[in-house]
Amino acid sequence: MYNIIYYDMRVESIFATHIIILLMYESRQIIMEFVICDDDRLYASQFIEQLKVLESQYDELFNCVYYDNYMSLIESLKNKESDKADIYFLDIEFGEVYGMDVARLITRMNRNAGIVYITNYEEYAIKAFVCRPLGFIRKKHDAEDIKVTMDKIISYMNDKNVLYTFKNNRNTLVLNLSTVLYIEMSNHDMNIYMTDDCRVVRDKILRVEKELSAKGFVKINRSSLVNMEHIVNIKDDVVIIDNGTKLYITGNKQEMIIRDWQAYIMGYSER
């Protein structure tokens, strides 16, 4: 049975109302987090209904958070309330704020975020390229555009959820690589530092380095591999991870690591 639950949260401040709309099936797990920002509530409601149809077609489940103005969305991002969504559907222009500017803010806070622009204007779908959006939805052709864009979103989400098997003596440990911040060897122990945990296995750094170099990891010193997805800055000989950890580059690798990181960022944004 399909359920829609509406939460209307009215804020007594300069930030207008935002509505959280949860789309869910009974006894199923939410697997995709969407944020929609458009000042046209009627259109947003129709947009949600179209997602409802695609949800069943793709056999996926969407959790959608809707904002009717950018100031509310920006405040929510700053408060770490909506900064971890998978996909952001942004109206390109309303009022004095442009969706492309908000997209820059979003991708600074969440490099994994997928951006989709919504527009009334055909020319924007040709000219806009900020943050390498996954797609454009033209309101006059949204039924067609949503289907095309959803195909890209599904592919994008599959690419994000890459699993890797670490060896641990005779056992194995399978992890989602997007949750791995960095890997560090200590004697014969391989410490895998994750977003919310640290796992220790007995694996060979040479094997792991060779395989993960093609999956966005870079070796910064003799014993450390860093997931470039989680690098926020490289300053002098220090690599700064998005959880605040600082790791040190040894040897004359700084320029090479910076080039690899920049190439990763550009390549990631073009996917």
| Predicted TM-score (pTM) above 0.75 | no
> Which pLDDT tens digit goes with each residue over 193-224?
998 899 999 999 999 999 999 888 999 999 99
Q: What's phi and psi for 11, nearest 5 deg?
A: -105, 125
Highest mean pLDDT among 20-29, 234-243, 260-269: 234-243
CA distance 210 to 185: 15
pLDDT of residue 265: 67
Between 213 and 161, where is the model more confident?
A: 213
Can you read off the two tokens belonging to residue 164? 């890797």
Average confidence (pLDDT) over 163-180: 91
Between 16 and 100, where is the model more confident?
A: 100
> E strands within the chain?
2-9, 18-25, 32-37, 62-67, 87-91, 93-94, 97-98, 114-119, 135-138, 163-168, 171-176, 180-186, 189-194, 198-201, 217-221, 224-227, 231-235, 238-241, 246-248
Element (H, E) at 206: helix 205-212
pLDDT of residue 99: 77
Q: Is the pLDDT of residue 98 over 90?
A: no
CA distance 219 to 177: 15
Q: How confident is the model at residue 164 (pLDDT cuts 50, 70, 90)?
A: very high
Q: How confident is the model at residue 131 (pLDDT cuts 50, 70, 90)?
A: low
What one-letter code names the amino acid at 241?
Answer: I
CA distance 99 to 115: 10
Q: What's phi and psi for 17, nearest 5 deg?
A: -60, 140
